Amino acid sequence: MSSYHFKEHDEEGLNTLEAISNAHQFNRWMFEQVQPYMQGRILEVGSGIGNISKYFIDAHADIELSDVRSAYCDELKRKFGNRKVHTLDLVHPNFVNEYQDLLGKFDSCFALNVIEHIEDDKLALKNLVTLLKKGGKVAILVPAGPSLYNDIDKGLYHFRRYTTNSITQLFHSADLHINKKWMFNALGIPAWYFGGKILKKKEVEGEQMSLYNKLVPIARVLDKLTFNKIGLSVIALGAK
């Protein structure tokens, strides 16, 4: 049995993905963080309902999509019928045999807001690395700041929030060389704290995300002013 105990029908997660789906400025900003490093045959791990996928597809990237939930995979096939979509469990107990056709096939893989949902994150990243060719690149984005962990994290089934040090340790555990790491979205910190700590929200709501989306130009400037040293998320780029 998989060590990833997920709900096939993830109401909170779906609500959040739908809330974020219309935040086009925010999604494009996130896409721009990893897109320059993703080359060749690309795999997106944890595509959800395709909020980031569509930007890669619009850029004519050679990208394949995946998710652990069959309902999300069905939605991805509906939206992007000409793309390969894989049902992929990063901690499947028989990963190598289950996904033998995908081993060593990709030049680049990325997982945005995925690894924090998996209790055994070390195993998840190790398995992800097996999908890469030698020298292949991997990029992950995860929530940052353990002290920010709140009711939204709990509602979204986040096991943890990371630091730059813990993300380095995670990469090293998967025999990945870290090429670069940086913080992302400093302006999101007060919004996350207020929503989860003060208002005790369990998910990101559409109205809240719509408002934040309008502030993305300011958020971009703030990240530059803080030299990407502060952020609601941490991004790491590594190589096999």
pLDDT at 202 over 60: yes
60, part of any domain: yes
Task: Look up residue 139 and give its two tokens.
Answer: 């990029």
> Residue 5 domain-assigned?
no
**Is residue 6 in some structural domain?**
no
Task: Judge whether 3 lies within some domain.
Answer: no
* pLDDT per position as a tens digit, 58-98: 999 999 999 999 999 999 999 999 899 999 999 999 999 99
Query: Which pLDDT score is estimated for 194?
Result: 87
pLDDT score of 211: 92
Tens digit of each residue's pLDDT (9 = 90 or more) over 119-158: 999 999 999 999 999 999 999 999 999 999 999 999 889 9
pLDDT of residue 116 exceeding 50: yes
pLDDT digits (tens, 9 = 90+) for 32-52: 999 999 999 999 999 999 999
What confidence score (pLDDT) does residue 1 get?
Answer: 37
CATH number at residue 212: 3.40.50.150
Residue 222 has pLDDT above 50, yes or no: yes
Q: What angle do CA 69, 73, 76 make, to 5 degrees?
A: 140
For residue 69, the enclosing domain spans 11-239
> Is residue 231 situated within a structural domain?
yes
Order of strands across the sheet that contains 177-184: 85-87, 62-67, 41-44, 106-112, 132-143, 233-239, 177-184
pLDDT tens for each residue of 147-190: 999 999 998 899 999 999 999 999 999 999 999 999 999 999 99
Residue 17 lies in a domain: yes
pTM: predicted TM-score of the whole model, two decimal places: 0.92
| Domain membership flag for residue 172 | yes
* pLDDT-derived band at 14, boundaries 50, 70, 90: low
Angle between helices 24-34 and 216-225 (to 10 degrees): 40
Residue 193, in any domain of the structure: yes
Using the predicted structure, report yes or no on whether residue 11 has a pLDDT greater than 80.
Answer: no
**Domains in the chain, number:** 1
